[in-house]
Amino acid sequence: MNRSLKRGVSCAAALFALLAGAALAQESLPLPEYSGWWLPENFSSDGVVIDQLFNLILVVVVVVFVAVQITLIVFLVKYRARPGGKATYIHGNNRLEILWTAVPAVLLAALSFFSQQGWVQIKPAEGFRNGEPGRQADHVIEVVAEQFAWNVRYPGADGVFGPRRPDLVSVANPIGIDREHPNGADDIFLTGQMHVPMGETIQVNLTSKDVLHSFFLPHSRVKQDAVPGMVIQMYFDVTRAGSYEIACAELCGNNHYNMKGTLTAHPTVEAYQAAVDRFAPVPIAEDTQ
Amino acid sequence: MNETHHEEHYHDQRVGSIRKYLFSTDHKVIGRQFLLTTLFFLIVGGLLALIVRWQLGFPGEAVPLGNLLPESMVAETEDGGYILKPEGYNAAFTMHASVMIFFVVIPMLVGAFGNFVVPIQIGARDMAFPKLNMLSYWLFWPSAVIALLGFFLDPLMDAFGAMGGGWTAYPPLSVVTPGLGINCWLIGVLLVGFSSLAGAVNYVTTILNMRAPGMSLFRMPLTTWAVFITSILTTLATPVLTAAVTLVLFDRVFDTSFFLPQGLVVSQELFRDGMTGGGQPLLFQHLFWFYSHPAVYIMILPAMGIVSDVLSTFSRKPIFGYRAMVFAIAGIAGLGFIVWGHHMFQSGMNPMMGTTFMVSTMFIAVPSAIKTFNWLGTMYKGQIQYTAAMCFAISFVSMFVIGGLSGIFMASTIVDIYIHDTYFIVAHIHYVLFAGSIMGAFAGIYYWYPKMFGRMMNEKLGKLHFWLTFITLNGVFFPMHIVGLGGMMRRIYDPTQYAHLQHLQPLNVFMTISAVALGFVQVVFAINFFGSLVWGKRASANPWHANSLEWLTASPPPMWNFDETPVVHHGPYEYSSPLTEDDYLPQTTPLPPPAEEPVPIPEPTAT
């Protein structure tokens, strides 16, 4: 089979997937309500840890802020210049210096400690890229960012991703899936939408074709840059069924602001599987062999 | 031994008014040149910020006076208005940041105040290398013009407007995006680095070698200490930025691949037919932040020095914990070199390095806290005089606390996952760089204006300027925390595109209105600044009754600063000493012996 025919086959498969995707987009679950001047509601397990530390830091910071500002205002009123007055000649106080060096140091060390406990859990150093085993994940999904779209790939029935080759990239095959490869034939490809089952841990193998992007799910407290030439493994879950926005948080060009995607968290694994399978490529590849 | 050398210069300076006022080697003239130039660029950077704010507050609506903007930024609508294009928006925020950082804050604090104040504060007659000093100023102009050239090239050629890849210029975006505007920006940043370096080596040499007799290092005012340590930072960090920017330029112009990985596909085409590879985008981020994080301290430390001097003078009290203040500056500078990775927690850097950078970042808050507490200690039991300079200095302390504390959120690796690249970060940098550095610079201007120009500024207008600026700046920057927590990303052309940001739009409108107001109230400052040159009261040598050496010479100081070399007897903060009648004691006046048991005055030493 010659090269152009191969391309044609993969084009047809991808186009079909895209059309099916357009039809399905109507079915996406409603977006959560957004209101109030605070963090959007959290729907993830990692987000609970992040929000707890956020709140702890907030308490520490507000206490320090209020204490400093009150002290400042009291001093400004109490020690304003009076006619004939003379300031008290004080050069400093070593005991105080030690105190206000040690107290912040201890406080900040404690915050570092709490942060580190969450960090090893959320972004473990082991298995953050190149296929090393990391966190336990129920589903593995590949996300390939490009100017200005989120390309999403599922491994299909065989559970294994086929290779991607930059030279196979075309308008119809934006991430260059090698459909000739036995593992690549059944890979499921979507653009601009992602489906996950609710409550299950998802591993995303994140990369980019062109420039830096950043995969941002505000409601799940997920953010990870996508770097061309690197496959970064990140993990998250969504604890409530519904539709959410995927945003790009790293400047990636003129349409950066519009690089949106939709994440749908399905209530059951079956519903998720069905939603993904609708994008499965038709087995044209076998007919042409 | 330096006398003959200086005499020759003295005659050189008399050549003509061009040499005297334009191409001068006198540090005082260069300091004033830097001040006026950077104030001009403050207007440029401010207008660019207003373009950004307009788009965020009123996305898609015609920009007022949009017809004046370069063609590459705007598109004409059917009803004759001009709306900002996404590329115009990207260029506006990129250039706003670049102008403010490279052409306003750094050269204003270091170039203007460092130049004018430091040699006089240490009792020197000029900088160590006067011609290098002049070169530093005259490199500034070509670098600024070249960096901004992209805005104006399009009528001549397809330059695709000014650089729009962010002031961080992360590759591959800064490499794969076509356009001469980006090359111009890179060359401009390269050149302004040389300008900074020429200044920095000059300050280090001057401060180490040219102090007056008796002016030991620990008798130097904190402004001089801050400029000294800042210059060491500049000397060590700037070459790294120069290297990084040069490599990006090579990647663009000579098709090298320092930062490009293999198999880059842009717009469904193999980039350069696949002839890239071996490069690593993260390498650039490491190099860039290795400069640009210390640069944050380059932009705040001199302001801290200025504020320390102003607070002590107008509290009529010695600075609290002088040595602790010096060590805190040095501590911030030292730690400042090992925290750069906190910009990269979510970049794909190994998370283990995130831990290291989190710990170092947390601990850099300690010297910052020390400084804040010492400023409060300085005001404790003082006689606080509310001059305009003092108002700005006090607000620096108050607002720097906000900028410092918000930094703790992003120092935490996991909280940063959420707030990274959101407006929370934008709020943080603006509390440090506007409410901090720029307000500190205003304090410095009100404080040293009499010395620089020989006339007093109007105090009432100064305080009006202070209150209007203080209120509007909080109106612009505080709500940024809230929209940031709401999840608003940085550098987006239209926040209303996102469901999770629509309910925050009223805040964006409020910030935009505040920003316009913040811009307008600077007219009060401009009137005061330029009006006082003509109508201001003539300034005496020491209008604030301050101690450091610049107040011992005439306002403005004569050629070579001092009629005779001053001899220093003590530190610069001897205010309200119980041994003296006055509440100040100039550094050249010996400390009087205690009344009861007279002790011999120690001979001044040069250590």
State pLDDT tens for residues A228-264. 999 999 999 999 999 999 999 999 999 999 999 999 9
What are the CB-based long-range contacts (under 8 Å, 24+) for B433-436?
B433/B100, B433/B101, B433/B105, B433/B299, B433/B300, B434/B473, B434/B477, B435/B395, B435/B396, B435/B399, B435/B400, B435/B402, B435/B403, B435/B473, B435/B474, B435/B477, B436/B300, B436/B303, B436/B396, B436/B399, B436/B400, B436/B403
A14, pLDDT greater than 60: no
Chain B residue numbers touching A166 (CB-CB < 8 A): 262-265, 270, 274
Distance CA B510, CA A279 (A): 45
Closest to B369 (Cβ–Cβ): which among A80, A100, A225? A100
Which chain A residues contact residue B491 at CB under 8 A? 251, 256-257
Beta bridge partners of residue A228, listed in sequence order: A208
Q: How far apart are CA B495 and CA B505, in angstroms?
A: 8
Q: What is the mean pLDDT of residues B58-81?
A: 92
- Each residue's pLDDT tens digit, B340-386: 999 999 999 999 999 999 999 999 999 999 999 999 999 999 999 99
Rounded distance between C-alpha atoms, residue B40 and residue B120, angstroms: 25
Say yes or no to pLDDT of A289 above 70. no
Distance CA B122, CA B118 (A): 6
**pLDDT for position B600:** 61
Nearest Cα neighbor of A112 from B497, B195, B154, B364 is B364
Q: What mean pLDDT comes out for the span B61-66?
A: 93
Residue A221 banded pLDDT, cuts 50, 70, 90:
very high
Indicate whether B37 pLDDT > 50: yes
Of A64, A212, A248, the CB nearest to B170: A212
Grouping H, G, I as helix, E, B as strand and the rest as coil, residue B13 is: helix
Could you give the percent of chain A with pLDDT greater than 90? 78
Q: What is the reported pLDDT for B606?
A: 54
| A47, A220 contact by CB (below 8 A) | yes
Beta bridge partners of B241: none
Measured CA to CA in angstroms, residue B364 lies from A116, A268, B384 at distances of 17, 47, 30
Contact B72, B88 (CB under 8 A): yes
Contacts with B177 from chain A: Cβ below 8 Å: 253
Average pLDDT of the residues in B534-552: 96
Interface-testing mutation among A126, A212, A248, with chain B (most B C-beta atoms within 10 A): A212
Distance (Å, whole) CA B537 – CA B530: 13
Ordered alpha helix ranges (H), chain A: 3-24, 45-78, 94-122, 269-277, 284-287
What are the residue boundaries of the structural domains of chain B, listed by start? 100-260, 557-607
d(CA B74, CA B81): 10
A69 part of contact set with chain B, CB < 8 Å: yes
Task: Give SS3 for B477.
Answer: helix
Q: Does A123 touch chain B (CB under 8 A)?
A: yes
Contact list, B489 vs chain A (CB under 8 Å): 216, 247-249
Ordered structural domains, chain A, with CATH: 3-32+136-287 (2.60.40.420)
Closest Cα of chain B to A284: distance in Å?
Answer: 23
Q: Which residue has the tokens 């115009």?
A: B88
Q: Which amino acid is at A91?
A: H
pLDDT of residue A1: 40
Strands (E), B42-87: 74-76, 82-84
The span from the first CA to the last CA of chain B, in angstroms, equals 20
Q: What is the Cα B574 distance to its own chain's centre?
A: 29
pLDDT for B186 equals 97
The strand pairing partners of A195, in sequence order, are A264
> Does the CB of B577 have a partner CB in chain A at under 8 Å?
yes
> Does B408 lie at the interface with A, CB-CB under 8 angstroms?
yes
Q: Which of B176, B381, B193 is nearest to B279 (CA)?
A: B176
**pLDDT single digits (tens) B201-254:** 999 999 999 999 999 999 999 999 999 999 999 999 999 999 999 999 999 999
Binary contact (A214, B491; C-beta < 8 A): no
Question: Measured between beta carbons, which residues in chain B are less than 8 angstroms from residue A40?
Answer: 486-487, 500
Predicted-complex ipTM score: 0.92
Nearest CA in chain A to B171: A211
Q: Which of B285, B275, B282 is nearest to B254 (CA)?
A: B275
Cβ-proximal residues to B325 (8 Å cutoff; 6+ apart), any chain: B222, B225, B308, B319, B370, B371, B374
* Chain A positions in Cβ-Cβ contact with residue B406 (cut-off 8 Å): 61
Our CA-based measurement puts residue B97 at a distance from the nearest CA of chain A, in whole angstroms, of: 14
Indicate yes or no: CB of A209 within 8 angstroms of CB of B265: yes
Per-residue model confidence (pLDDT) at position A32: 79
Q: What is the pLDDT of residue B413?
A: 96
pLDDT at A24: 47
pLDDT band at A36 (very low <50, low <70, confident <90, very high): confident
Residue B442's identity, in one-letter code, is F
Closest CA relative to residue B225, chosen from B330, B318, B127:
B330
B274 touches chain A (CB under 8 A): yes
Q: Are strands A242-248 and A213-217 parallel, antiparallel or unpaired?
A: antiparallel
Instruction: In whole angstroms, give the CA distance from residue B522 to residue B479.
Output: 21
- Which helix H or strand E contains A226, and what residues bound it? strand A222-226
Model pLDDT, residue B2: 43
Instruction: Tell me whether A77 touches chain B (CB under 8 Å).
Output: no
The neighbour count for residue B40, using CB atoms within 10 Å, is: 13
Say which residue, A225 or A129, is predicted with more confidence.
A225
Asked if B366 lies within 8 A of A105 by C-beta distance, the reply is yes
The dihedrals phi and psi of A145, each to the nearest 5 degrees, come to -85, 150
Q: pLDDT at residue B68 above 70?
A: yes
Of all residues in chain B, the percent with pLDDT exceeding 90 is 89
Cα B130 to Cα B31: distance, rounded to the nearest angstrom: 12
Sole residue written with tokens 């190149």:
A130
Whether residue B421 and residue A214 make contact (CB cut-off 8 A), yes or no, is yes
A223 pLDDT higher than 60: yes
The DSSP element (H or E) to which B408 belongs, if any, is: helix B388-411
User: If contacts are CB pairs under 8 Å, which of residues 34-73 in chain B contact chain A?
Assistant: none
Asked if A63 is an interface residue toward chain B (Cβ–Cβ < 8 A), one would say: no
> What one-character-per-residue DSSP string does B151-207 give?
HHHTTTS---SS--STTTT-TTHHHHS--HHHHHHHHHHHHHHHHHHHHHHHHHHHH
- Interface contact flag, B575 A223, Cβ < 8 Å: no
Of B280, B418, B495, nearest to A223 by CB-CB distance is: B418
The answer for A 197-236 residues in CB contact with B (under 8 A) is 209-212, 214, 216, 218-219, 221-230, 232
Please give the structure tokens belonging to residue B351: 């998370």
B503 at A interface, C-beta within 8 A? yes
Instruction: Measure the CA–CA gap between B308 and B239, rounded to whole angstroms.
Output: 30
- Written as six digits, the tokens of B6 are 């200086």
Q: Is the pLDDT of residue A114 over 80?
A: yes
**B394–A61: do the CB atoms touch at under 8 Å?**
no
- The confidence score (pLDDT) of residue B20 equals 77
- Picking from B90, B497, B502, the nearest residue to A254 by CB comes out as B90
Q: B355, A116: Cβ pair inside 8 Å? A: yes
When scoring B219, B376, B415, B547 by the number of chain A Cβ atoms within 10 A, the one with the most, hence best to mutate, is B415
Chain A residue closest in CA terms to B359: A112
Q: Residue B257 pLDDT more than 90?
A: yes
Q: To which H or E segment does residue A265 belong?
A: strand A261-266
Nearest-CA distance A191 → chain B (Å): 14
The answer to whether B271 contacts chain A (CB < 8 Å) is yes
Judge whether B208 is closer than 8 Å to chain A, CB to CB: no
Nearest to B121 by CA among B302, B349, B345, B367: B302
User: Tokens 């968290």 belong to which residue?
Assistant: A265
Alpha carbons A183 and A161: distance in angstroms, whole number? 6
Q: Is the pLDDT of residue B57 over 70?
A: yes
The model's confidence at residue B284, banded by pLDDT at 50, 70 and 90, is very high
Q: Is B350 on the interface with A (CB under 8 A)?
A: yes
The shortest CB-CB distance from A167 to any of B270, B317, B322 is to: B270
Amino acid at B553: T
**Quick one: what percent of chain B has pLDDT higher than 70?**
95
Whether A112 and B497 lie within 8 Å, measured CB to CB: no
The answer to whether the Cβ–Cβ distance between A49 and B385 falls below 8 Å is no
For B374-429, the pLDDT digits (tens) are: 999 999 999 999 999 999 999 999 999 999 999 999 999 999 999 999 999 999 99
Residues B367 and B373: their CA atoms lie apart, in Å, by 10
**Using the beta-carbon criterion (under 8 Å), do B324 and A92 form an inter-chain contact?**
yes
With 90 as the cut, is the pLDDT of residue B106 above it? yes
Is the Cβ pair A227, B493 closer than 8 Å?
no
Give me the total of CB pairs closer than 8 Å, taking one residue from chain A and one from chain B: 325
B440-497 residue pLDDT tens? 999 999 999 999 999 999 999 999 999 999 999 999 999 999 999 999 999 999 999 9
Task: Judge: A65–B405 Cβ closer than 8 Å, yes or no.
Answer: yes
Whether residue A251 and residue B165 make contact (CB cut-off 8 A), yes or no, is yes
The distance of B169 to chain A (nearest Cα, Å) reads 10
Res A125: pLDDT: 87
Nearest to B285 by CA among B231, B233, B248: B248
Q: Calculate mean pLDDT across residues A145-169.
A: 94
Q: Is A128–B379 a contact, with Cβ atoms under 8 angstroms apart?
A: no
Judged against a pLDDT cut of 50, whether residue B566 lies above it is answered with yes
- The three-state secondary structure class of B496 is helix
> Minimal CA–CA distance to B587: which of B607, B562, B573, B568?
B568
More confident: B579 or A108? A108
In this prediction, residue B598 has a pLDDT band, given cuts at 50, 70 and 90, of low
Tokens at residue A4, please?
């152009």
Q: Please give the average per-residue pLDDT across A268-278, as a whole number.
A: 95
- Dist. CA B322–CA B309, nearest whole Å: 11
Cα R_g (chain B), whole angstroms: 25
